[in-house]
Amino acid sequence: MCNLLVWAHQATVDYNYRVGPRITEIAKLILQNGWLSEHHGSFQRIVDDGIKDDRKLLVGESTATDFDNIKQLLAQKLLEGPEIEIGGDPAIAAIRGHLLRLGPGSTDLPEVWYMGLLPESVKDVLEKRQVNEAYEIRTNVFKIAQAVKHRPQSIGLEADVAKLILIQSSGRSISLLAPDGSFQDFFSSLEQELKQKSSPPTRIVLAITAGKPNMVEVSQKSYAALAQTVSQVLGDSDPELKAMLLSATDTKVSEIIFLWQLLREIKKTAFGDRVRTFVGTRDFRDKNNRLDRPFAKSALYLLKEADIISSNDAEIHDLYAVHTRETKHEIPLAYKLRELPFRAIKVCHSADGVIMDLGCRPEHIITSDSFRKDPSTFLTDVLRLAADGATYAMDATAGLGRSANESMIRIYSGHVNEKSRQHERFNAMFLGITEPMPAGMISIPSARVVRTLGAVVGLGAVFDGLLLSFLMRE
């Protein structure tokens, strides 16, 4: 029996449009029609200066009509329709991992499930088969899904060098899976699904992504349970952070407490020693690009519960700054990754390459016979395939890269000329050009690509899905 990866907890629908230089025209029309009024300042800046970096704008559920109007506008102005994909980092990663397995009659890659919320917007596009592999995804990936009457979605406007993403996020809160502050029902559903399998998996990896948390209203019972979790995690060490996570005037709590609870609870279930956990971090910056220190600090506590950690370069810089209370621009990124105090496999990915630091004995996590025979070659292969698979997702046409199976990625990776990898940019990014690679670290520079970095929504989730699947193969 192969290993099992369970990605939790949320999904949405992404509508991606290639607008090119017309993004200023689209922004101007949005302003003239008064749509998404809370973000008129952002649209005006695009009209005035264009867009040079990827931007995300969060909007409320009350703007559903504005979203429909913008999609109608785009249908009128553009020659081609949108690329429609299932979004939400856990769902993206789960789909990417599952499709990796397709093709051969048998595979040693892990089985991959999505387990969590199923909004009506996601259910509709799957039933109407508006996304590639819709039947495969609904039948074999969305194994355990709780229906919610919300319609989260995003609109991605891809310009020449960057992308504007409009995000409507209702119906994606993890609190919907634990209304009483406990994930007992969530894990019971997983246990029931596993009973239908002929043999149990060797490892069960619960994988989550730690996106920016909101404060959510909960019941008195749930508040009491989550307050106890906060006390157990923080003790008396950080009263200021505790006050930010638990409202003193009502029963609102930070969603990140639910993630703490989720990782702590699964280790107490009947799955026992088979359980390992993965956490992928996400942007710690606010809308003004300032470091959200309470969020980053609460993420540090979450990462202490993880066996495998994946972050991009900016997130590692921010985690290091919060951990050490110093920025230290002179310290290379690879050294910052090494110094983060987690007993876990730590991975840092960027547009220029990937590095891995073994912060624990890898045999505690990895079960592959190939790893036992040649650990170094196995882990180098994992990094190379994950990095090149993510590059392929950017470079391949017609969305092919996001649905490529293992053989397609191996063919692509095997034909990447070593001279075409980003060696100089890798050294500048991770090593400050001149420093040596820290002892025990494994690395791979990225391949050069044609498409811009703004071309793919959820590329971090694509990488995480590939990384975890290749790492946990038998």
**pLDDT: which is higher, 453 or 260:** 260
Looking up tokens 């607008």 gives: 19
| CA dist 28 → 22, 73, 156, 253 (Å) | 10, 12, 16, 38
Residue range 335-393, pLDDT digits in tens: 999 999 999 999 999 989 999 999 889 999 999 999 999 999 999 999 999 999 999 88
Q: What whole-number distance in Å separates Cα of residue 166 and Cα of residue 171? A: 16
Mean pLDDT of 173-199: 91
Query: Domain of 194?
Result: 4-14+88-152+179-471
Please name the residues in contact with 398: beta carbons below 8 A apart, sequence gap of 6 or more.
none
Q: Assess if residue 373 is contained within a domain.
A: yes
Tell me, what's the pLDDT at 396? 62
pTM over 0.85: yes
31 with 44: CB under 8 angstroms?
A: yes
Name the residue among 461, 470, 459 with its Cα closest to residue 391: 459
- Coil, strand or helix at 58: strand
Tell me, what's the pLDDT at 440? 87
Tell me, what's the pLDDT at 452? 47
Q: Assess if residue 58 is contained within a domain.
A: no
Q: Is the pLDDT of residue 241 over 90?
A: yes
Q: Assess if residue 28 is contained within a domain.
A: no
Q: Which two tokens stand for residue 403?
A: 């649905």
Residue range 37-80, pLDDT digits in tens: 999 999 999 999 999 888 888 887 777 789 999 999 999 988 68
Q: Is the pLDDT of residue 263 over 60?
A: yes
Q: What whole-number distance in Å separates Cα of residue 343 and Cα of residue 309? A: 10
Q: Which two tokens stand for residue 67?
A: 């979203």
Residue type, 77: K
Tell me, what's the pLDDT at 1? 67
Tell me, what's the pLDDT at 170? 87
* H or E element that contains 222: helix 220-234
Name the residue among 356, 258, 271, 270 with its Cα closest to residue 298: 258
Q: Is the pLDDT of residue 189 over 70?
A: yes
Note the Cα 5 to chain centre separation in Å.
14
Tell me, what's the pLDDT at 453? 43
**pLDDT: which is higher, 431 or 454:** 431
Tell me, what's the pLDDT at 399? 63
Q: What 3 state SS string does 36-56 have?
A: CHHHHHHHHHHHHHCCCCCEE
Sheet holding 308-312, edge to edge: 142-148, 111-119, 4-7, 204-210, 275-281, 308-312, 345-350, 353-358, 442-445
Residue range 114-163, pLDDT digits in tens: 999 999 999 999 999 999 899 999 999 998 999 999 999 999 998 887 88
CA atoms within 13 A on the CB side of 213: 28
- Coil, strand or helix at 57: strand
* Strand pairing category for 111-119 and 142-148: parallel
User: Biggest alpha carbon distance in the chain?
Assistant: 64
State how many domains the chain has.
1
Q: Assess if residue 57 is contained within a domain.
A: no
Q: What whole-number distance in Å separates Cα of residue 430 and Cα of residue 335? A: 8
* Predicted confidence band of residue 450 (pLDDT cuts 50, 70, 90): low
Q: Assess if residue 288 is contained within a domain.
A: yes
> Domain holding 187: CATH number?
3.40.1190.20
Mean pLDDT, the chain, integer = 91
| CA dist 425 → 54, 119, 462 (Å) | 20, 41, 22
Mean pLDDT of 206-235: 93
What's the residue count for the chain?
474
Q: Assess if residue 402 is contained within a domain.
A: yes
366 with 472: CB under 8 angstroms?
A: yes
Q: Assess if residue 314 is contained within a domain.
A: yes
For the ranges 108-112, 342-346, 370-374, 401-405, the lowest mean pLDDT is seen at 401-405
Q: Is the pLDDT of residue 214 over 80?
A: yes
279 with 302: CB under 8 angstroms?
A: yes
Question: Helices 64-77 and 23-33 meet at what angle, rounded to 10?
Answer: 140
Tell me, what's the pLDDT at 454? 43
Q: Assess if residue 207 is contained within a domain.
A: yes
* Predicted confidence band of residue 237 (pLDDT cuts 50, 70, 90): confident
Q: What 3 state SS string does 359-398 have?
A: CCCHHHCCCCHHHHHCHHHHHHHHHHHHHHHHHHHHHCCC
